[in-house]
Amino acid sequence: MMFREEKKSFFGKMSQRIGDALAGKATIDDDFMDELEEILITSDIGMETTMKIVDMLRTEVKTNNLTKPSVIKIRLAKIISSVINKKEEQKLCQDTPLVILMIGINGGGKTTSIGKLAHKLRQEGKTVMLAAADTFRAAAAEQLCIWGDRVGVNVIKHKEGADPSAVIYDAIQSAKAKHIDVLICDTAGRLQNKKNLMDELNKMNKVIGREYPEAARENLLVLDATTGKNAVSQVQEFGDVADITGIILTKLDGTAKGGIVVTIADEFDMPVKFIGVGEGIEDLKEFDPVEFAEGIFNE
């Protein structure tokens, strides 16, 4: 199971606190509901989503006359699962050729996620190529090339400071000539000047649309789970400059509280497509909302 080993580390405290709040209660009262609100909010679940979850649980308790703590936990897991489940939108597009633009701030795990995703796609039998279009960050192309060598895929790159769209153009021509299934493009992670970033991404999109109109598209935003609510602001900021089709949430391990998954999926109606649960090349997992929610309480 995806969360068998990881779940205790990033959800153990939340599960334990809910269990403690339920301990010794003969009925589920307003005091428990108030305590549940606090637990969810301090687990990085936003206020709006927290109130939705608690209101849904209140309805379940009242309608079905629920009192047993074990049943409450099961119902709460099902509620959380329903809130974050985006169904088919959570799956990476399976059409080929496919162009994936990887977006996110520097230091969020973007390059590592590209490498892991390339490996995963290779394991599925797809051919993959990488484009080093983050041409302004020092050594970005070199880091991507290290991952390319590691997973056995070609990387198209230019000199540092080159036009990112020129890299995309050359990568598309190469991918088309070699009949590559998936082209994954690294992009700059600068948010200091949103206009420059927007212009850059718009130019890339125009190049892809003009040179590769038959290709399917994904724009994946890479977020560091350990940044908590700061990740929410990144969804807002990048959502202003790009049409995001899904989230890759990295570093969802012993240092992350995990609730940010619930906030992003609900408040932004944004599918979480992959989660990073470790440093290994295999540690990029497809997101399963049911397993995720059940993992909160199955200690």
Where is 240: in which H helix or E strand?
Answer: helix 230-241
Binding site members: 104-111, 186-190, 250-253
CA Rg, the chain, in Å?
21
- Return the CATH number at 140: 3.40.50.300
Residue length, the chain? 299
Per the domain annotation, does 201 fall within a domain? yes
Same domain (yes/no): 80, 99: no
Same domain (yes/no): 141, 37: no
pLDDT at 23: 76
Same domain (yes/no): 61, 143: no
- Helix, strand, or coil here: 131? strand
Per the domain annotation, does 1 fall within a domain? no
Binding site members for GTP: 104-111, 186-190, 250-253
pLDDT at 30: 84
> What's at 83, amino acid-wise?
V
CB 154 within 8 A of CB 148: yes
Domain containing 39 equals 7-87
| 246 φ, ψ (degrees, to nearest 5) | 180, 170
- Total domains, the chain: 2
Q: Output the six-digit token pair for 122.
A: 């290779």
Same domain (yes/no): 101, 235: yes
Cα first-last separation, the chain: 13
Per the domain annotation, does 100 fall within a domain? yes
Rounded Cα distance, 195 and 30, in Å: 48
Q: Between vectors from CA 268 to CA 41 and to CA 225, what angle results, nearest 5°?
A: 55
Per the domain annotation, does 274 fall within a domain? no
Same domain (yes/no): 131, 210: yes
pLDDT tens, position by position, for the chain (299 residues)? 444 444 444 455 677 778 777 777 767 788 888 989 998 888 888 899 999 999 999 999 889 888 777 788 889 989 999 999 998 899 999 999 999 999 998 888 899 999 999 999 999 999 999 999 998 887 889 999 999 999 999 999 999 889 999 999 999 999 999 999 999 999 987 766 677 888 888 899 999 999 999 999 999 999 988 887 788 888 988 888 889 999 999 887 654 556 888 889 998 999 999 998 888 899 999 999 988 888 776 65
pTM of the predicted structure, to 2 decimals: 0.89
Tell me the C-alpha to C-alpha distance, in Å, between residue 222 and each of 40, 41, 214, 273: 23, 23, 25, 10
Handedness of CA 147, 149, 150, 154 (dihedral sign): positive
Same domain (yes/no): 39, 54: yes
Handedness of CA 220, 225, 226, 229 (dihedral sign): positive
Same domain (yes/no): 74, 101: no
Strands (E), 76-234: 98-103, 128-132, 154-156, 182-186, 216-224
